[in-house]
C-alpha cells in the first residue's frame, strides 16, 4: 500500500507549469528516491506535497486521503515532515531549541523527551553542541539538526530535499547512514537527491524527473544499470 500517492500532480508558478502532471507512489515503509537535474521540478514537488504550494485537492493522497490544500502545519500534525533544501535551521536558537521546535505540534512530554534522547544518540555531535547557536554550526551539523528537528515531529513520512548538498564526503556518508537507520525503523522516506548513484544505492525504488515530467521509474537496482540513467546521471557512457 502506498503511504503517498501523486495523481497527475501539476504545479505552476505564475504562468509557468513547473510540474506537468506526474504520477508517483511511495509504499509504506520504503525509501524511494526522486532524481534529476537542477530545474527538473523535484523541490517543487516536495513543496507541493508538504503543503507549501497550492495544488488540486485530489492530486496528492497521503495515507489514502486527499491532502491538496491542507495547511503545512496540519500535515506535520498528521505525520508528514519536510527537511528543506538549504536546511532552514533557526540560526539564533540553540540546537536544543531547534529540536524542540520540531515537536511543537506534540503534547506528549514524556515521549518527546524520549525522542530527543533518540535524536541525540543518532547525532552525537548535536549532543556535544546542544547549547550552541544553530547559526554557528558547520553545514553538515546544520543538516544533522534539520533532520533531527523533523524526526522530533515523529513523522510517518519524511521528505528529504538534497541532504548531501555542499557537504564533505565523510559527512555525506554519516548523513546517509543515519537516513538508512531511520528507514530501517519503519519511517517512510521520499528522498530528492542530485547524487543519483548514492540515492539509487540506498533506495528500493526510484523515479527520474526531467522538465516537470517523470521519464523513468522502477526498482532502484534496475535504474542503476539503465543505460539512459548511467549516461545522464552517473557520468558513464552507454
Residue 189 predicted with pLDDT over 80: yes
The full 3-state SS of the chain, as one line of letters, equals CEEEEEEEEEEEECCEEEEEEEEEEEECCCEEEEECCCCCCHHHHHHHHCCCCCCCCCCEEECCEECCCCCHHHHHHCCEEEECCCCCCCCCCEHHHHHHHHCCCCCCHHHHHHHHHHHHHHCHHHHHCCCCEHHHCCHHHHHHHHHHHHHCCCCCEEEEECCCCCCCHHHHHHHHHHHHHHHHCCCEEEEECCCHHHHHHHCCEEEEEECCEEEEEEEHHHHHCCHHHHHHHCCCCC
* d(C-alpha 225, C-alpha 238), whole Å: 10
Average pLDDT over residues 205-227: 96
**What pLDDT score was predicted for residue 96?**
96
- 15: pLDDT strictly greater than 90: no
pLDDT (average), residues 190-195: 94
β-strand pairing of 188-192 with 31-35: parallel
**Confidence band for 171, pLDDT divided at 50, 70 and 90:** very high
- Segment 147-163 mean pLDDT: 96
Q: Which three cell numbers stand for residue 85?
A: 533544501
The residues near 196 (Cβ < 8 Å, ≥ 6 apart) are 35, 229, 233, 234
Q: Check residue 236 and give its pLDDT.
A: 65
Q: pLDDT (tens digit, 9 = 90+) per residue, 91-108?
A: 999 999 999 999 998 889
- Check residue 116 and give its pLDDT: 96
Over range 121-137, report the average pLDDT. 94
Q: From CA 187, how far away is CA 157, in angstroms rounded?
A: 6
Taking Cα atoms as reference points, which of 111, 80, 91, 107 lies closest to residue 187?
80
pLDDT at 237: 56
Residue 72 near residue 50, CB atoms below 8 Å? yes
Position 24 confidence tier, pLDDT thresholds 50, 70, 90:
very high
Amino acid at each position: 500500500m502506498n503511504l503517498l500517492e501523486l495523481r497527475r500532480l501539476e504545479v505552476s508558478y505564475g504562468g509557468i507549469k513547473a510540474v506537468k502532471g506526474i504520477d508517483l507512489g511511495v509504499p509504506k515503509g520504503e525509501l524511494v528516491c526522486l532524481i534529476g537535474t537542477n530545474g527538473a521540478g523535484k523541490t517543487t514537488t516536495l513543496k507541493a506535497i508538504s503543503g507549501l504550494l497550492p495544488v488540486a485537492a485530489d492530486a496528492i493522497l497521503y495515507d489514502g486521503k486527499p491532502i491538496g490544500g491542507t495547511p503545512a502545519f496540519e500535515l506535520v500534525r498528521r505525520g508528514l515532515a519536510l527537511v528543506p533544501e538549504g536546511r532552514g535551521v533557526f540560526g539564533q536558537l540553540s540546537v536544543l531549541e531547534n529540536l524542540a521546535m520540531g515537536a511543537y505540534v506534540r503534547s506528549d512530554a514524556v515521549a518527546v523527551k524520549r525522542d530527543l534522547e533518540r535524536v541525540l544518540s543518532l547525532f552525537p555531535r548535536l549532543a556535544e553542541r546542544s547549547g550552541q547557536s544553530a547559526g554557528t554550526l558547520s553545514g553538515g551539523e546544520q543538516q544533522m539538526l534539520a533532520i533531527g528537528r523533523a524526526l522530533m515531529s515523529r513523522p510517518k513520512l519524511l521528505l528529504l530535499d538534497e541532504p548531501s548538498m555542499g557537504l564533505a564526503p565523510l559527512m555525506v556518508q554519516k548523513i546517509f547512514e543515519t537516513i538508512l537507520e531511520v528507514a530501517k525503523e519503519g519511517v517512510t522516506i521520499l528522498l530528492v537527491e542530485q547524487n543519483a548513484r548514492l540515492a539509487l544505492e540506498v533506495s528500493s525504488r526510484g523515479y527520474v524527473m526531467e522538465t516537470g515530467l517523470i521519464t523513468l521509474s522502477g526498482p532502484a537496482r534496475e535504474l542503476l544499470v539503465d543505460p539512459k540513467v548511467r549516461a545522464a546521471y552517473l557520468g558513464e557512457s552507454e
